Amino acid sequence: MEFTITSSPDFVIRSLTTAAEIEAFYWLNAQVFRPGHDTVLIATRRRRFITEAPDFHPEQLRGAFLGTTYLGGYRIPAFTVHMGPARLRICGIGAVVTHPAYRHQGIAGALMRDAITYAIQRHYALLLLDGIPNFYSQFGYVNVLDRLQHAIASEEIHAHPPSPYTVRPATLDDVPALLTLHRRHYGSYLGSFDRTQEWQEHLWRHLYWLLSTSVRENGLLSFSARFFLVVRWDSATDPGGKSFSYTRENTRLWAADSQERHAQAACESCKRPLQA
């Protein structure tokens, strides 16, 4: 019989337990999902965002091992989702990765089946993931939504006249207003995720937020550490292209500030040790 890694008695999938295993998880994810970028910086940022989350638990990081050799892994955080008046506890699968030297040997499939077992044992109502098409159906997944993104060229933004609105970086004191706006905008949607005050503070610490001076009446714009732009506008109408002009104004602030924030993060990654 042909030898396969997953059939070996030394093959096991379990929660990560040591600092070295956790460090290997974040480094491999940074190298695979962000090639060509600063691995130390990406791994450190990702680690802090995940491990400093209010409901993080170390068992949510899972890894495949052959003896003591780390082959790959995934994370499986928990969420509360709104289904009408019901609140369902679900989990999501993310950062599924196999070390390049051990691919095409069934490890990814073993990780996916482990996630299903993990969810069943903990009585989660659903498993949710966002991944490549035509792969996860073999594990029982079905499509539930199409992800929509808008890309706006910066030259198109700057071609518009200046906006009458002003923006500024959000502060910790703005967190309640940001949370209120999020709940007002998304709370009524079937399948929306619950967000607590602690989670909003966590997002504020790890993402780059800009908001208008009248956030309660208008809206906000957020930039993540990966410089991904999301515009949320809490109005029934948008007279005069207000949100587009608003975007134009804050792109100027973000561009002026992003290099400094990147340098600060890089400096912090050198000074702060990686911790489990």
pLDDT of 38-50, one tens digit each? 999 999 999 999 9
Region of 123 (left: φ > 0; alpha: ψ -120 to 50; beta: rest) is left
- The span from the CA of 70 to the CA of 7, in Å, is 16
Task: List, by residue range, all CATH 3.40.630.30 domains of the chain.
Answer: 5-139
- Whether the CB-CB separation of 174 and 215 falls below 8 Å is answered with yes
Q: Are 107 and 71 within 8 A, CB to CB? A: yes
131: phi then psi, degrees, rounded to nearest 5: -150, -165
Angle between helices 197-206 and 39-51 (to 10 degrees): 170
Residues 160 and 178 sit within 8 Å (Cβ to Cβ): no
The C-alpha atoms of residue 20 and residue 23 are separated, in whole angstroms, by: 5
The structure's pTM equals 0.74
Phi, psi of 220 (to 5 degrees): -145, 165
The architecture in CATH of the region 5-139 reads: 3-Layer(aba) Sandwich (3.40)
Element (H, E) at 109: helix 107-121
CATH for the stretch 154-271: 3.40.630
Task: Give the model confidence (pLDDT) of 141-200 as tens digits.
Answer: 888 777 777 787 877 877 888 777 677 778 888 889 889 888 888 888 888 899 999 999
The span from the CA of 169 to the CA of 12, in Å, is 46
Nearest to 140 by CA among 109, 103, 98: 109
108, 98 Cβ separation under 8 angstroms: yes
* Alpha-carbon distances, residue 20 vs 30, 48, 92 (angstroms): 15, 16, 24
Whether residue 217 contacts residue 60, with contact meaning beta carbons closer than 8 Å, is answered with no
Question: Tell me, what's the pLDDT at 236?
Answer: 43
Share of the chain above pLDDT 70, in %: 74
